[in-house]
Amino acid sequence: MTSTQTSPLAFLKGHGTENDFVIVPDADNAVDLPAAAVARLCDRRAGIGGDGLLHVVRSAAHPEARGMADEAEWFMDYRNADGSVAEMCGNGVRVFARYLQYAGHVTAGEVAVATRGGVKRVHLDKDGSVTVSMGRALLPEDGVTVTVDGRSWPARNVNMGNPHAVAFVESLDHAGNLFTEPPYSPAEVYPDGVNIEFVADRGPRHVAMRVHERGAAETRSCGTGACAVAVATARRDGADPALTGNPVTYTVDVLGGTLIITEHPDGEIEMTGPAVIVAEGTIDPSWLADGEIETVND
């Protein structure tokens, strides 16, 4: 059964290259977070504000993660800012790992995090940066055409556990207003929606991007998006590590900072960047009641 939340709910706020998140610690998976409540928490005017929400749950306590509990103690139950469920978030998993360290659940070094996109291996560096093994990219052959203000570009289909469409442009200004989703066709390529990245060259192995994230509009950064951009750029540049036998590293500038992406010949992709916890507190239970957040009782 469920009962309305009557006690304050603990939360934290964190960001990775200014991709920011509300963090809700809930080891036993006792808090039910319906989509409307998540959207309320992520609202930048009426709530705490964030590009998404990190629900921190022990893998053994969550039905979607129990199969990964032997590999990873903690599950990142990630939600987009509109409350929809997402497979993965690259910046989010770095912030998630930083929270585990902040809360004393892990120390600097290696930590495994369960996600809907599989178990991710994270290294918490002593210098404050966080490196995540993001897995391998899938490159479906079907792509789309993205259109903004009368200009159109082909976009490469890259899947990083979540879907991306990567378009190369001469100027990031061509991306226009990314608070609304740019139209793309054929729409059936992405039946569940897509993250759309616009990419401009900055120098050798150096690009910059803007992104419209599915369920969150334009964000200051997108970790899986930066990985998708590096993969698509390596193919464009003829630097596919599987063909050359050498790892390739790209610097990817996002609006909120810089991420370093390395793809290895076996296809494994590593992302390195910052992750910061900036605040913690509690949420007023009366406000929670209005937001329909519930605790689950056995």
Nearest to 272 by CA among 159, 132, 117: 132
Residue 109 known to bind ligand: no
Nearest to 85 by CA among 62, 111, 60: 62
Place of tokens 């928490």: 41
Residue 213 known to bind ligand: yes
Residue 162 known to bind ligand: yes
- HEC-encoded secondary structure of 176-233: CCCCCCCCEECHHHCCCCCEEEEEEEEECCEEEEEEEECCCEECCCCHHHHHHHHHHH
Residue 246 known to bind ligand: no
CB atoms within 10 A of CB 33: 20
CA atoms of 267 and 260, how far apart (whole Å): 16
Phi, psi at residue 89, to the nearest 5°? Answer: -150, 115
Residue 87 known to bind ligand: no
Residue 83 known to bind ligand: no
CA atoms of 154 and 167, how far apart (whole Å): 6
Question: With left for phi above 0 and alpha for psi between -120 and 50, is residue 288 left, alpha or beta?
Answer: alpha
Cβ-based neighbours of 179, under 8 Å, separated by 6 or more: 217, 218
Phi, psi at residue 42, to the nearest 5°? Answer: -85, -5
Q: Which of 24, 222, 234, 259 is catalytic?
A: 222
Nearest to 133 by CA among 124, 120, 116: 120
Q: Which of 89, 175, 259, 261 is catalytic?
A: 89
Q: Is residue 222 annotated as part of the catalytic site, yes or no?
A: yes
Q: Is residue 89 annotated as part of the catalytic site, yes or no?
A: yes
CA atoms of 254 and 206, how far apart (whole Å): 11
Residue 128 known to bind ligand: no
User: Which residues carry a binding-site annotation?
Assistant: 19, 80, 90-91, 162, 195, 213-214, 223-224
Active site residues: 89, 222
User: Which residues carry a binding-site annotation for substrate?
Assistant: 19, 80, 90-91, 162, 195, 213-214, 223-224
